[in-house]
Structure formats: C-alpha cells, structure tokens
Copies of this chain bind each other. A is one copy, B any other.
Amino acid sequence: MRDAYQDQLDELAESLAAMCTQVASAMEKATRALLEADLQLAEEVISEDALVDDTRAAAEENAFALLALQAPVATDLRIVVSAIHGAGDIERMGDLALHVAQAARRRHPQPVLPAEVAPYFSEMGRVGVALAIKAGEVIRTRDLARANELETDDDAMDDLHKHMFSVLMDRDWAHGVGPAVDITLLARFYERYADHAVAVARRIVYVVTGQMPGPLTV
C-alpha cells in the first residue's frame, strides 16, 4: 500500500513537470508565431491550451484523492499542497502563452511588433521558456540550488520588461499608441509567465525545507 501511495505522489509531481514542458513548448511556439506572424503556429498554441487545462484538472483530482484517501503528513503533505498551487501557476503560464498567440492571431497578417522591438521579445521568449523548463527540472529533482537559480534568471526578464517600457516612453517612439498598447500587454504576459515559474520553484523549496522563501516581488 505504501508503494502505491509513493507512486501516486511521484505521478503527481511528474504530471506537474509534464505541464511545465507543455507550457514551455506553448510559449516557444507563441513567441515564434508573434515574431514570424505565423497564423498556423498561433492556432496550434490556442487549440493546445485545452490540454494544459486537462492536465491541471487531472492533477488537482489526484491531489484531492491523495488527501482524502492517504491523509499525508509532513513532507508528503507539502508535496500535495505545493502541487495544488503549482498546477494553478503552470496552468496560468499556459494561459499567458495563449494570450501571446491570440495577439499574433488578432493582428495577422500584420506583425504585432515593430522590427526594432522584436529582438526583446525573442529574448523574453527565450528566458521564459528556459524558466519553464527549469521549473520542471526543479519539480523532478527538488534541487534547491537549481530552484534558487530561477530567481536570478527572472531578474533578466524583469530587466527586459523594464527596458521595453523605456523604449515605449522614449520620444523617438514612432509607432503610435496602438502598437504601444499591444507591446505593454505582451511584455506583461512574459513577465507574469516568468513570475509563475519562479513561484513553482519556490513551492519546491517549501517542500524540501518546510519554509517558504521571502515574498516574490510582483
């Protein structure tokens, strides 16, 4: 019985790690759709988001069943509670990738981004995808050093995010209000995506240490 229980805990963690892979792929494709005005890729991200939602619902049901049937305590209980939180964070990452894809679709066949800001979004996409992949690794390995790395990696996203605003607010901005509004929201989506990846890693720190790291500044 104990073995089946451990298997269930492992499966719960594995389903969350798999969600990280799903939303990393979604953000990778959404960013490409955005940069290349690729409608088909945008549609792919939009239709695949339901899979993330399904995985989240299944993970929550499994967590609930574990609580009801196994009444876990201590570390095991922290694993289940953190999985409940983590599933929510990762589903939200999927939603944010979806929003990026929707922006690409909304403006198609026009590109959303003026050429001069595209490189920043390419970089925000790269950082975001790397954070999602690393969050999945942290879920699998519970490696605290790796978990802490996400905080630093997220600083790069925050810098890109801040920099985008200075570009928009610059007198030389020549693209008017419409693109500025799109870019404001898109930059926010990437920044929030990264914050949720950090939150997932922080919950793993809590699983291992029993302590939540200090508050994430958002």
Contacts and interface: CB of A to CB of B under 8 A. Distances in A.
Interface in A36-70: 53, 57, 63-64, 67-68
Contacts of A173: 177
Interface in A169-191: 169, 173, 176-178, 180-181, 184-185, 188
B169 A177 contact: yes
A51 B57 CA distance: 31
Interface of A: 53, 57, 63-64, 67-68, 71, 73-74, 77-78, 81, 84-85, 88, 95, 165, 168-169, 173, 176-178, 180-181, 184-185, 188, 212, 215, 218
Given A181-B181, A185-B188, 8 more contacts: A64-B78, A64-B81, A85-B88, A168-B177, A169-B177, A169-B178, A176-B177, A177-B180
